[in-house]
Amino acid sequence: MTVSEVLENYNEENQNDISEKLKKLWISELDKKIAGELNQNREGLKSDFYSIEKDELFILNAPTEYDEIYLVYLKMKTDYYLGETERYNNSAKIYNNLYFEMGNFISRSFKKRNNTFLKVALNND
């Protein structure tokens, strides 16, 4: 899913006064987290992540099966931003479950790269 698709889908479902720049920042936060925590050292997955300076056609890191995580994350951040504590708690629970499931999916579906190396130190005694 691209950044523009996330924004389009989110804006269709949610009417609010939050700027596009802030929404893009939130998308960037999540994409960086996925790239660094889940995709790192996995074959077939990229570790490059979206940042505000990049084009809205940038393809995000979540696997297609878990594209909705960006919408859930934006909803959670919006609820927090607007001070909707009860809604935030519900959104956070959904986000955390989805993130956990996505992590398990990535672990099962994409094997680790073989980045083993031997570190040798000499004893200077």
Counted domains in the chain: 1
In a domain, 117, yes or no: no
3-state secondary structure of 53: coil
Helix 3-13 and helix 20-33: axis angle, to 10°?
Answer: 120
Which of 16-25, 39-48, 89-98 is predicted least confidently?
A: 39-48
| 40-83 tens-digit pLDDT | 877 777 778 998 889 999 999 899 999 999 999 999 999 999 99
In a domain, 51, yes or no: yes
Which structure tokens are listed for 37? 């925590």
% of the chain at pLDDT higher than 90: 65
5-11: long-range contacts, CB 8 A cutoff, minimum separation 24: 6/60, 6/67, 6/70, 6/71, 6/74, 7/56, 9/71, 10/70, 10/71, 10/74, 10/75
In a domain, 43, yes or no: yes
In a domain, 71, yes or no: yes
Comparison of pLDDT for 36 and 114, the residue scoring more: 36
In a domain, 97, yes or no: yes
In a domain, 114, yes or no: no
Task: Give the structural domain span for 89.
Answer: 3-109
In a domain, 118, yes or no: no
The pLDDT of residue 38 is 87
The pLDDT of residue 125 is 52
* Residue 117 pLDDT exceeds 60: no
In a domain, 122, yes or no: no
Rounded mean pLDDT of 85-100? 97
CA distances, 98 to each of 57, 68, 82, 93, 104 (Å): 24, 9, 22, 9, 10
What is the residue-averaged pLDDT of the chain? 89
